[in-house]
Amino acid sequence: MSQKKTSNLYNEITSQFVSALKNGAPPWIKPWSEYSPRPTRPKNAITDRKYTGINVTILWTAATTHGFKRDRWLTFNQTRKAGGRVCRGQKGTVVILYRNIEVRRKDESGSLVLDSNGETIKDKIKFIKGFTLFNVDQCDGLTKEIVEGPSLPPEKPAWKSHNEIESLLVSKGVRIRHDCNQAAYYPNEDVIRMPVKKAFKTDSCYYSTLLHELVHWTGHHSRLNRPGICKPLDYSKSNYAFEELIAEIGSAFLCAEFGLKCDLRHESYVISWISELENDPKAIFATSALAWKARSFLLGDTEQVLTNNSTNADIHK
């Protein structure tokens, strides 16, 4: 994709996030409905493959903006092959595909460059392009199985210790103290401090807040070594809002994995987030990629984001 087209793609997607924030609907907060009472990651309605990284955030934004009931998506061709059709006047959602491709190296004259064995030297480059998805709510003629997918197990009681999250905390050796009036991660002590559990209305409120701080915890120099945690922060500047945005999106990713509802917990940062995104169209890509990296670190997940992971920290400039 040409540099101009890539820039247009960044700008188009970033404008969706800015619009959602200005309308009071944080794009990483999963929308709920009677059809999807608990968090789920967006998935392809035909292959059942879950989307990753920035595409999760993009599709959540579209679902919030347009009021889609389900997080099931498919391409125009998949819709047609499944015997359905996209309803007249419906506009698709552009998501991102990153790929590593090999190109043959050429010199200034356009001739192929060979190695000492006479073989063509190949360079790996990042290739980005957009492709369009439609929500099942935008389509007609699809089978019930494609539209609804498998049924979810019964929802958990209103308050209960979340065994999976508690096991994760133990396995990672996370130090937590319930001795504070507000939730915060302290890098110098490498400890998360939380209010007592009974201060929260539900287990979801408690654990979603804890997961936000847990994403901060991943940034410690002994783990992912994120600048927003490892370098001194100026709380009046954008680098602080940038790290908070990583934690906010990362906790939303984790809540979706563990079936927890989450709410925006840092309303005071919304204005700075809007400013950040408007000034840098790549910021939402960087924060989403780093949030996904934190999620994958915590879950020991081999599922990779199709993005330039080697330079994620450099996207934000």
Backbone φ and ψ for 99, nearest 5 degrees, come out as -145, 150
Q: From first to last of the 317 residues of the chain, give the pLDDT tens digit.
A: 555 566 676 677 667 666 766 665 555 555 444 455 455 789 999 999 999 888 988 888 888 778 888 889 999 999 999 999 999 999 999 998 877 777 788 888 878 888 888 888 887 776 678 899 999 999 999 999 999 887 766 555 555 678 999 999 999 999 999 988 788 899 999 999 998 888 887 888 889 889 999 999 999 999 999 988 987 655 445 567 788 889 888 888 898 888 887 665 554 555 566 666 777 878 888 888 999 999 999 998 755 443 333 333 332 32
Cβ–Cβ under 8 Å, residues 279 and 10: no
Tell me which H or E stretch contains 126: strand 122-135
Domain that holds residue 171: 3-315
pTM: 0.66
- Tokens standing for 252? 């939303």
Distance from C-alpha of 284 to C-alpha of 307, rounded to nearest angstrom: 13
Query: How many domains in the chain?
Result: 1
- Which amino acid type is present at position 152? L
Buried b or exposed e, range 295-306, using 16+ CB within 10 angstroms? bbbbeeeeeebb
CB 257 within 8 A of CB 283: no
- CA distance linking residue 237 with residue 223, whole number of Å: 24
CA pair distance 187, 104, nearest whole angstrom: 46
